[in-house]
Amino acid sequence: MSDVIERGDVAAASDKGWASSVLATLGRLVLAVLVAVLLAFLFLPLISVFISRSPLELVSSLDSNIAYQALILSLETTAVSLLIIVVFGTPLAYWMAKYSFRGKRILEVALQMPIVVPPAVAGVGLILVFGNLGLLGGALSVFGIGVAFTTVAVVMAQVFISAAFYVFAARQAFEAVDDELLAVSRTLGEPPWRTFLRITVPLALPGLLSGAALSLARALGEFGATIVFAGNLPGSTQTLPLAIYTALQSNFDVAVAISALLLSVAFVLLLLVGLINRRQRALSS
């Protein structure tokens, strides 16, 4: 009798194990399908930009007046935007990282707003402030200074949209710098500015470079705020994303080629960020 019971228990355990194995296999299969569907949705549109045309066709399509003007303007405006962001954003990031003050949390949320706000809303806000009838633009127009729908407006839109990416990355980099090292430097009689340049900046440099690369990539791809605040004027305010929008209406091959160029630049910048972060982790370990 006991043998029969034992065999029954073994059979039940075997059936239970088989059922668990089947459920585990089905679970892994469902997970694989969900992951594959999402990855295909995310990457196929990007990959199609490169595989829909041969490399020679993409390069030849870039040899056009609209692409050349937009490329030169994008390089110039993003370089100026990045310089402005680094000059003004670095002190802000350091202040946010090393000092405590009332309302700091509110300021942190406010600094995140340009990241989440729709770019078109940012463009409208810039017009309300710097447009010819805006809060500050009206005063500037009295002196014959116009900001909206100029190259300056392109730079302002890029700075507004992309500055937060640098500020938050730089803040994290500054927070990682040991305060005791800074205190030792000041104890040795070093002035604050020399301590900042010789100790703080070198230690935080990987994070600063990562933030600069992310900010540059975001500025290069800015579209919504630019077209609202600066317009789409060839040779003056038409950057690469705006050139894609224009080319879609006349020459689709040019639009694909410019898209491939922007994707390549973004990939290189993200790869650079990854290499910097990897090197930083290696040095810290």
Shortest CA distance to 246 belongs to which of 279, 277, 223, 276?
223
Joined together, the tokens standing for residue 131 give: 């447009």
- Cβ atoms of 191 and 165 within 8 Å: the answer is no
User: Cα 221 to chain center, whole Å?
Assistant: 9
* Tokens 């585990």 belong to residue: 24
- pLDDT tens digits for 142-183? 777 888 899 999 999 999 999 999 999 999 999 988 878 777
Residue 247 confidence (pLDDT) above 80: yes
Continuous segment of H or E residues that includes residue 114: helix 104-116
Question: Which residues in 92-123 are b (16+ Cβ under 10 Å) and which e?
Answer: bbbebbeeeeeeeeeeeeebeebeeeebeebb
- Cβ atoms of 271 and 279 within 8 Å: the answer is no
Residue 234 confidence (pLDDT) above 70: yes
How many C-alpha atoms does 57 have within 13 Å on its Cβ side? 11
State which of 1-10, 190-199, 202-211 shows the largest mean pLDDT: 202-211
Query: 56-284 falls under which CATH superfamily?
Result: MetI-like (1.10.3720.10)
For the entire predicted model, the pTM comes to 0.84
How many C-alpha atoms does 129 have within 13 Å on its Cβ side? 9
DSSP symbols for 40-66: HHHHHHHHHHHHSS-HHHHHHHHSSHH
Question: Residue 8 — pLDDT band, cuts 50, 70, 90?
Answer: low
pLDDT given for residue 284 in this prediction: 61
DSSP symbols for 165-222: HHHHHHHHHHHTS-HHHHHHHHHTT--HHHHIIIIIHHHHHHHHHHHHHHHHHHHHT-
Based on its alpha-carbon atoms, the radius of gyration of the chain, rounded to whole angstroms, reads 27
